[in-house]
Amino acid sequence: MSADNLIDGRAIAQKVHAETESRVDALKSAGVKPGLMFVRVGEDSASKVYVGMKERTAAKLGIRSETTVLPEDTPEADLLELLGKLNADASVHGILVQAPLPRHIDETNVFSTVSPAKDIDGFHPVNVGKLMLGKGGGFVPCTPGAVHELLIRSGVAAEGAEVVILGRGNIVGKPMAAILCQKKQHANATVTLCHSRSRDVAEHCRRADIVVAAMGVPEFVKADMVKPGATVIDVGVNRVDDPAAEKGYRLVGDVDFAAVQPIAGKITPNPGGVGPMTIAMLMRNTVRATEQQTDAGIR
């Protein structure tokens, strides 16, 4: 099968990393070393893997990172107290609290406690508000930011395009819609946000120039839902049982890749599409946070 229409997230992420590394070098020349703090509560296996990947990438780029792991039963007040200390620590420029959190902890309270200046995940109400208002200076959530960057660097024009986003979550769907409908370059799209109560989702998808699948349903987007030549971005990560696999399961996206690729104009593989770029955007946000807090480096 031809790979001519693949949007290679790994290759594009490497280009972003190279740009980020040059900014890290500029900061170090000014006597500043970017500091990134991860906070993980509990022993969720996926969270451990994700944080580990982020730590390794930070190390390669010259970003100092540390991880604080709290017990599963940590009271919310203790977590908020830790975040207050990190907010006050001048050597920490970026803070990421790894989701999901235990059920007894209110994620909204946690994300609201992280300083907006150090909120490299873009979840603080101040940063969410700046995104919705189209104001600069805030931090955009890393996954929708990654999707936007993939579209830009792959030459996919959002201007005037019909975009259908599948999923209305706070992490991807809603901020993705906000990014693409802005009155600015690389946006100005007509956006439809589909969700579990939407009628005839397939019909919405068939008219789209760009489909962003982020609803968490394995291989939901089928070939008959995609307009020939449309760009398809697969954000989903789903575990499905597979007795033939070494671990008894395999990971698939929200798009039936094998069926959709021959129809799509451009498409992200999964893995190797949005995932690597999400980490690249996190590192870029960390460096920008450092520049803003220290008035050093290149902007």
Q: In which residue are the tokens 């993980």 written?
A: 40
Cα 102 off chain centre by: 21
Does residue 2 have a pLDDT over 60? no
Which percentage of the chain shows pLDDT scores above 70?
98
CA neighbor of 47 nearest in space, from 180, 193, 237? 237
Catalytic residue chosen out of the listed positions 119, 121, 234, 254: 121
Note the pLDDT of residue 296: 67
Q: What is the mean pLDDT of residues 21-27?
A: 98
Q: Do 119 and 139 form a contact (C-beta atoms < 8 A)?
A: yes
Q: What is the mean pLDDT of residues 2-11?
A: 89
Three-class secondary structure of residue 119 per DSSP: strand
Does residue 297 have a pLDDT over 70? no
Q: What is the mean pLDDT of residues 239-249?
A: 89
Please confirm, yes or no, whether 121 is among the known catalytic residues. Answer: yes
Note the pLDDT of residue 299: 46
Please confirm, yes or no, whether 73 is among the known catalytic residues. Answer: no
Q: What is the mean pLDDT of residues 232-260?
A: 93
The torsion angles phi and psi of 59, rounded to 5 degrees, stand at -60, -40
Q: What is the mean pLDDT of residues 110-121?
A: 98
pLDDT digits (tens, 9 = 90+) for 78-88: 999 999 999 99
Q: What is the mean pLDDT of residues 32-54?
A: 95
Catalytic residue chosen out of the listed positions 98, 119, 256, 293: 98
Here the tokens at position 230 are 């449309």
| Cβ neighbours for 197, distance < 8 A, ≥ 6 positions apart | none
| β 210-213/35-41 pair status | unpaired
Strand ranges in 83-227 using DSSP code E only, listed in sequence order: 94-97, 162-166, 190-194, 210-213
Residue 102: count other Cβ atoms within 10 Å of its Cβ: 15
Please confirm, yes or no, whether 184 is among the known catalytic residues. Answer: no
Domains in the chain (CATH in brackets) are 33-115 (3.40.50.10860), 142-274 (3.40.50.720)
Catalytic residue chosen out of the listed positions 54, 118, 130, 174: 54
